[in-house]
Amino acid sequence: MLVFIPLTASRLTWWAVGGPIVPTQAFAVTTSLRKAFGFTAADDEDAEHTVLHIAGLDGLLYLRTRLVAVAEASARPEPWSEFGEVKVGELPWSSVTALFSDDAPDAAAALGERLAGRSLATAWDEDEVAEFLAEHELLWHGPGEWGTLVGPLNVDDTGAVVAIDENRGSDSGTRYESTWVSASLDLRTTADGGLKSAWFQNPTPSFLFLIGDVQLGAEIYTDDEVPLSPGDSERAVALLFWAPVARDLATPGRAFTLIYGDREIGRGTIGEPTGPR
């Protein structure tokens, strides 16, 4: 199953370069969570999106950062937890399928200060938390982008990573560089493995785009009020990439594959550069 693991930058670095970890906290779509939030088996995508926000909020409360890894793992649900808490064993870095980071770390840090001392359940019910989560999506990154999320690294004479520079500053060194492009998008039908329902949110939560052999996170924007739906063909959209390498990869005419979780849900072609939406 997919498990969502709150992390610090130093913990992420250790996992990526130092070996397996045993997470102290993890979340997943469990029976108890489905019951508490009213999700059915047809609501897997919405349920996973909710669990991602839960893991991010847990990280903000207890680790002072919204940095979440998603991994494939065997997990034992905590039956008492309405928030999908699970126990997992040792996880290798190869189990990681995606990473998520905050799009507004300063605003998140300020919110974390105001929520100091609150439990996850109490914080989840706060109006300002609901508003923050609605306004600030977590950004999707491929596992290979972990180095852009942890700030400057210390290396030895061989170039191997040995530690994080603890003087990197309050922004954790994360570097974003917006790249806006137009695109034509073809989405698979639900029967063909696509999304199970339409995305009414504009922009969408960040999806994973495979361009060549490089994975990049991006949000999808539409210019109309029509939601993205399974089976859409040649849908005109705008894409917002934040990894600096997107400037070299998301070029006109370049094909991409759209990934959600562990499956392909569509394909498309990059168009011309465009302005912010």
Per-domain boundaries in the chain = 2-149, 179-273
Number of neighbours of residue 220 by Cβ within 10 angstroms = 24
How does pLDDT run along the chain (277 residues), one tens digit per residue?
Answer: 999 999 988 889 889 887 788 888 999 999 999 999 999 988 888 999 999 999 999 999 988 899 999 999 999 999 899 999 999 999 999 999 999 999 888 999 999 999 988 899 999 999 999 999 999 989 999 898 888 887 654 444 444 444 443 333 333 344 456 789 999 999 999 999 888 888 877 777 678 888 887 888 888 888 777 888 999 999 999 998 877 778 888 999 999 999 887 788 999 999 999 887 7
| CATH code of domain 179-273 | 2.40.30.10
> 54: which residues sit within 8 A by CB, 6+ positions away?
4, 27, 83, 84, 120, 124
